[in-house]
Amino acid sequence: MKRSSLAAIPLVTAMVLSNGPARADIVPGTPDIWLAGQANGSSVTGIFGSDTAPAESPTGLAIIGGDTLTFSVTGTTSNNGVCTETSADAGSCAPDVSIFGAGPANGIGGYKGPANALIGVFLNNTVPTGPGAPATLDFTGSNNFTSLSPLLNQVFFIGDGLTGTGTGTVQDFVAPSGATRLFLASADALGASFDNTGSFNVTVNDVSSVPEPATIPFLAAAIVCIALRRK
């Protein structure tokens, strides 16, 4: 049986869910991934300015650690409207946003990869704080993985959810043990998301398989009852 364990996190208004797959209708370009899970009034600052919660807080979903997720993504974002991307894989504006300073911050790891791409981070129920952020993953020119298992608080590339741009195999993303939340945003330098434009349309599917609850015990009990009646 396919388990749908995705549920909306309270106060996240950009996330609209349906029965079965969870659908994030809009992930705007303005959220800053390093504000994931942070309290209102928190901020992060980089060379281009500052982002503040909740104005630049990323969208979120409740998830279960160990589950496998897939993404279907359309739409694009742009850093302050200067450069236009052609897909959620992005990279035409800046192949490596880390040269402008892309974390770590607030205990959430850094990001090394295309600007304007859809990115994510898995958190548990605690507010992430620094120092001690996990290692920065490198997604410059290496986004064709078939499966990825990021750590808690480790920023990762999602793009359009396929091994190629607009084509290829659907990529699997395995939530780490202890994860309870997934946050989504557009990749930009630290503190620079406030003037971004555009948005992503994102469908998140939980493709984890679990046994049908109580099916086998009920079946066994029924067989025993039938056997006793025949005696």
Tell me if 208 is assigned to some domain: yes
Report pLDDT for 18: 33
Report pLDDT for 210: 53
Which pLDDT tens digit goes with each residue over 81-95?
788 899 999 988 899
Tell me if 2 is assigned to some domain: no
Task: Give how many domains the chain has, as a whole number.
Answer: 1
Domain that holds residue 165: 7-230
Instruction: Band the pLDDT of 5: cuts 50, 70, 90.
Output: very low
Tell me the CA distances in angstroms from 80 to 53, 132, 186, one per residue in order.
Answer: 19, 31, 12
Listed in order, strand segments (DSSP E) in the chain are 7-8, 22-28, 43-46, 49-52, 59-62, 68-78, 111-112, 118-123, 137-138, 147-148, 156-157, 172-174, 181-186, 197-206
Tell me if 132 is assigned to some domain: yes
CA separation for the pair 1, 139 (Å, rounded): 33
8 A C-beta contact, residue 73 and residue 200:
yes
Residue 231 is encoded by which pair of tokens?
A: 């005696």
Which pLDDT tens digit goes with each residue over 130-177?
888 999 999 998 889 999 999 999 999 999 999 999 999 999 999 999
Which pLDDT tens digit goes with each residue over 94-144?
999 999 999 999 999 999 999 999 999 999 999 999 888 999 999 998 889
8 A C-beta contact, residue 139 and residue 101:
no
Tell me if 192 is assigned to some domain: yes
Report pLDDT for 152: 98
8 A C-beta contact, residue 90 and residue 115:
yes
Tell me if 1 is assigned to some domain: no
3-state secondary structure of 159: coil
In whole numbers, what is the pLDDT of the chain averaged over residues?
84
Report pLDDT for 80: 77
What CATH number does the domain containing 175 carry? Answer: 2.60.120.430
Among 4-13, 20-29, 71-80, 163-172, name the one with the lowest average pLDDT: 4-13
141: burial class by Cβ within 10 Å (0-12, 13-18, 19+)?
exposed
Tell me if 147 is assigned to some domain: yes
Q: Is the pLDDT of residue 218 over 70?
A: no
Tell me if 50 is assigned to some domain: yes
Count other C-beta atoms under 10 Å from residue 222's C-beta: 10
8 A C-beta contact, residue 136 and residue 177:
no
Burial 14-35 (b: 16+ CB within 10 A, else e): bbebeeebbbbeebbbbbbbbb
Identity of the amino acid at 193: S
Tell me if 114 is assigned to some domain: yes
What pTM does this model have?
0.83
Radius of gyration of the chain, Cα coordinates, nearest whole angstrom? 20
Instruction: Band the pLDDT of 196: cuts 50, 70, 90.
Output: very high
Residue with the two structure tokens 């998301």: 193
Q: Name the DSSP class of 98.
A: G
H helical segments located in the chain = 215-230
Report pLDDT for 82: 80
